Amino acid sequence: MNTTEKETAGRIENEKEAGAARQRENILAPSILAADFNQLGEEIDAVTSAGAKYLHIDVMDGMFVPSISFGMPVISSIRKGRDCFFDVHLMIERPERYIDEFAACGADGITVHAEATRHLHRAVQTIKAKGMKAAVALNPSTPLSALDYVLEDLDMVLIMTVNPGFGGQKYIPQMTEKIRALRKKVQEMELPLKIEVDGGINDATIHTVLEAGADVIVAGSGVFKGDRAENVARLLTVMNGYTW
């Protein structure tokens, strides 16, 4: 190869890399909070075999949020024989107390709320030190500036699109602008992190969040009401239509 040919080959390689970096993979994360716990295993298998890559697992302590859901024994039990990504959303006070235990019971990624800990940076580092993906969640009224100084360390940010604590609530429209602003920031900073949205996402609202830049879509009642496989397939079809 002469110099010009080498330069051209190098440019094509760089463009390929840039293209790969821009690739958008939209992931569906069904929230098992809305599943029928009497047949939880079957519920999970129905949505993962239909194409959902993440399983969104909502842990609530009755303190950070009003309700109580489930904890480690349930997670260890559903982990057996399953290899989908366990996306554990901790809605608990001082989540740093339990990071080791959630790692031990099979979490692949842990999300802590910025509002639930005085030591957000330390909590993020602890999650990563355990080899898991680290995410921070923000309640609807918490500004994006709460992520300053940790954003570069994160694998994902979770924008709550309802107030956490219950499934089946209505999407808060003001969150669209928040998602959009975060996507803009992430693109400007060229960060690889994912933006997850959680709460009130269904056939009517999914376009809005995808268009604003979310790429991990949590859906509880949107998946676990009616035909699970059909719901997953329909949502994935919409999601696959959104590229960068």
DSSP reduced 3-state for 83 = coil
Q: Give the residue with the Cβ less far from ligand DX5, 88 or 147.
A: 88
> Shortest CA distance to 212 belongs to which of 224, 201, 223?
201
Query: Residue 71 binds which entry of Zn ion, ligand DX5, none, with Cβ cut-offs from 5 to 8 Å by kind?
Result: none
* Cα→Cα distances 11→16, 22, 151, Å: 9, 16, 30
Among 89, 133, 178, 183, binds ligand DX5 (CB under 6 A): 89
Q: 93 to 152, contacts with ligand DX5 by CB under 6 A?
A: none
Q: What whole-number distance in Å separates Cα of residue 99 and Cα of residue 88?
A: 10
Query: Residue 133 binds which entry of Zn ion, ligand DX5, none, with Cβ cut-offs from 5 to 8 Å by kind?
Result: none
Q: Is 58 in the site for Zn ion (CB under 5 A)?
A: yes
| Residue 102: partners with Cβ closer than 8 Å, 6 or more residues away | 59, 72, 75, 88, 90, 110
Neighbours of 27 (CB within 10 A): 19
- Provide the greatest CA pair distance for the chain: 69
Catalytic residues, which ones?
58, 198
Q: 141 to 180, contacts with ligand DX5 by CB under 6 A?
A: 162, 164-169
CB of 67 to ligand DX5, least distance (A): 8
Size of the site for Zn ion (CB under 5 A): 3
Q: Is 87 in the site for ligand DX5 (CB under 6 A)?
A: no
* Cα→Cα distances 145→94, 149, 151, Å: 20, 9, 10
CB of 137 to ligand DX5, least distance (A): 8
Contact residues: ligand DX5, CB under 6 A: 31, 33-34, 56, 58, 89, 162, 164-169, 198-201, 218-222
Query: Which residues contribute to the site for Zn ion (CB under 5 A)?
Result: 58, 89, 198
